[in-house]
Structure 1
Amino acid sequence: MRRLPTLLCATLCIGLFAAAATAATPYRIIGYITHRDPAQDQDIGKINTLIFATTRIVDGRVSLDPAGAARLQKVIALKANHPQLKVEISVGGWTVGGFSEAASTPASRRIFADSAAQLVADQHADGLDVDWEYPGHHESGIHSSPHDRANFTLLLKAIRTSLDRVGAAHGRTGANHYTLSIAAADGPFVSGIDIHAVARYLDWFNLMTYDFVNAMTPTTGHHTGLYASKYAPADARTTRRAVRQFLAAGVPPRKLVIGVAFYGREFADVNPLHHGLYQPYGHFAGTHAWPQLLTDYINKNGYVRYWDARAKAPWLWNAKTHSFISYDDPRSIAAKAAFVKARHLGGIMYWEQSLDPSDTLLDAIWHDLH
Structure 2
Amino acid sequence: MAVLLLPFLCAATSIATADAPPSPYRIVGYATGWEPGQTKDVGKIDTLIFAFAQLKDGHVMLDNEHAAGLQKLLALQSDNPKLKVDVSVGGWSVGGFSEAASTAEGRQLFADTAAQMLSTQHADGLDVDWEYPGHHESGIKSSPEDKTNFTLLLKAVRASLDRIGQKDGKHYTLSVAIADGPFVSGVDIPAINPLLDWFNLMTYDFVNANTPTTGHHTGLHASPLIKGDGRTTDRAVQQFLTAGVPPQKLLIGAAMYGREFVDVKPEHDGLYQTYGKFQSMLPWPVLKQHFINKQGYVRHWDDAAQAPWLWNAKTHSFITYDDPQSITAKAAYVKAEHLGGIMYWEQTTDPTDELLDVMWKRLSN
Whether 2:252 is the aligned partner of 1:252: answer no
TM-score relative to the length of structure 2: 0.96
Residue from 231, 247, 257 that aligns with 1:263: 257
**How far is 1:20 from its partner?**
4.2
Q: Which residue of 2 aligns with 1:81?
A: 79
3-state SS of the aligned residue for 1:87?
strand
| CA–CA separation in structure 1 for the residues paired with 2:165 and 2:358 | 35
**How far is 1:59 from its partner?**
1.1
Aligned residues with identical type, % of pairs? 65
Q: Tell me the alpha carbon deviations over residues 157-180 of structure 1, each in whole angstroms, 9 at most, x when there is no partner.
A: 1000000100111111xxxx1100
Q: Give yes or no for contact 2:14–2:39 (8 Å, CA) kept in 1.
A: no
TM-score relative to the length of structure 1: 0.95
Residue from 63, 73, 80 that aligns with 2:61: 63
Whether 2:297 is the aligned partner of 1:299: answer no
Written as runs of structure 1 = structure 2, the 5 A alignment for 1:1-370 is 15=14, 18-21=17-20, 23=22, 25-172=23-170, 177-370=171-364
**How far is 1:18 from its partner?**
3.7
| CA–CA separation in structure 1 for the residues paired with 2:238 and 2:66 | 36
How many correspondences in the alignment? 361
| CA–CA separation in structure 2 for the residues paired with 1:334 and 1:106 | 45
| CA–CA separation in structure 2 for the residues paired with 1:26 and 1:245 | 24
| CA–CA separation in structure 1 for the residues paired with 2:125 and 2:21 | 20
3-state SS of the aligned residue for 1:218?
coil
Residue 73 of structure 1 aligns with an amino acid whose one-letter code is Q
Q: Tell me the alpha carbon deviations over residues 241-282 of structure 1, each in whole angstroms, 9 at most, x when there is no partner.
A: 000000000000010000000000000000000000000001
Residue 281 of structure 1 aligns with an amino acid whose one-letter code is Y
3-state SS of the aligned residue for 1:200?
helix
Q: Give yes or no for contact 1:53–1:91 (8 Å, CA) kept in 2.
A: yes
**How far is 1:19 from its partner?**
3.3
Q: Give yes or no for contact 1:22–1:48 (8 Å, CA) kept in 2.
A: no
Residue 260 of structure 1 aligns with an amino acid whose one-letter code is A
Q: Give yes or no for contact 2:43–2:83 (8 Å, CA) kept in 1.
A: yes
| CA–CA separation in structure 2 for the residues paired with 1:29 and 1:19 | 14
| CA–CA separation in structure 1 for the residues paired with 2:123 and 2:12 | 29
Give every structure 1 segment of 4 or more consecutive aligned residues whose post-TM-superposition deviation is greater than 2 Å: 5-23
**How far is 1:228 from its partner?**
0.4
| CA–CA separation in structure 2 for the residues paired with 1:10 and 1:354 | 24
Cα distance change on mapping 1:78 and 1:15 into 2, 3 Å = closer
**How far is 1:81 from its partner?**
0.8
**How far is 1:75 from its partner?**
1.0
Q: Give yes or no for contact 2:283–2:349 (8 Å, CA) kept in 1.
A: yes
Residue 52 of structure 1 aligns with an amino acid whose one-letter code is F
Residue 222 of structure 2 aligns with an amino acid whose one-letter code is A
Q: Which runs of 5 or more residues in structure 1 are unaligned?
A: none
Q: Tell me the alpha carbon deviations over residues 23-74 of structure 1, each in whole angstroms, 9 at most, x when there is no partner.
A: 3x22110000011211111000000000000011111110111111111111
Q: Which runs of 5 or more residues in structure 2 are unaligned?
A: none
